[in-house]
Amino acid sequence: MKDAADRLTPLGLMLLALLAEGDMHPYEMIRLLRIRRDDRLVPITHGTVYHTVARLERAGLVTEVGVDREGNRPERTTYAVTDAGTATVREWVRRELPRIDRPVEFRVALAEAHNLDRPEVADLLTARRAHLAAAHAALTDGHRFARHKGVPDQYLLEVDRDEAMLAADLAWLDGLLARLADPDFAWGPDPEPSERYLAQRKAARL
């Protein structure tokens, strides 16, 4: 599934992960993503979602499972994720979690990290931490050298912010790794749908 993961966009990943919850038509996907405020992560429009679903179907990652029509509404084609689609989600999340050069992809991978087993997520995030620590150390050294050379602080504001952001990211990641190591920290799919989830699905179908 590596080739499919290479071509998968963040929105495509989110749609595949959404279909893992159950079969849906694109309109329901759009509404559910907006109800959950997932448009914070990627832009969501009718055109991009329908286009992405069509690409996923051509790639064999989703398949049509039915066509419904209610009243005067247009026909709605319902899709299901295939085994290849499920495997591609895991491969995509697996490759994006440790990377520090693709912030949009990382946010989506983090949102879908629960598709992987807890120990694997911890290992991938530990690798990410090593990359972040190296980047932070290099930036700190460069910042220190620039100040030593007498570069005025007004020219180093962006470097100063980047250094602070990396430090904050490291601190947050340390906290997350500690939570993942705690067996009381819930992980994986819920055994039964919550009332909140059922309410979201109902609202999305309207």
Residues 12 and 79 sit within 8 Å (Cβ to Cβ): no
Residue 78's CB: how many other CB atoms inside 10 A? 16
First to last CA, the chain: 35
Q: In percent, how much of the chain has pLDDT > 70? A: 90
| Per-residue confidence band for 82, with pLDDT thresholds at 50, 70 and 90 | very high
| Per-residue confidence band for 4, with pLDDT thresholds at 50, 70 and 90 | confident
Domain ranges, ordered by start, for the chain: 2-112+189-205, 116-180
Residue 120's CB: how many other CB atoms inside 10 A? 14
pLDDT tens column, 132-188: 999 999 999 999 999 999 999 999 999 999 999 999 999 999 999 999 999 999 998
Candidates 52, 176, 58; CA nearest to 118 is 176
Residues 123 and 177 sit within 8 Å (Cβ to Cβ): no
What pLDDT does 93 receive?
97
What pLDDT does 159 receive?
94
Give the whole-angstrom CA distance, residue 1 versus residue 176: 28
DSSP 108-123: HHHHTGGGS-HHHHHH
Question: Which of 1.20.1740.10, 3.40.50.300, 1.10.10.10, 1.20.1260.10 is the CATH number of 2-112+189-205?
Answer: 1.10.10.10
pTM for the complete prediction?
0.87
φ/ψ of 67, rounded to 5, equals -130, 125
Give the whole-angstrom CA distance, residue 24 versus residue 41: 21
pLDDT tops 60 at residue 204 = yes
Q: In percent, how much of the chain has pLDDT > 90? A: 82
| Per-residue confidence band for 72, with pLDDT thresholds at 50, 70 and 90 | low
What pLDDT does 120 receive?
98
Residues 1 and 12 sit within 8 Å (Cβ to Cβ): no
Mean of the per-residue pLDDT values of the chain: 91
pLDDT tops 80 at residue 198 = no
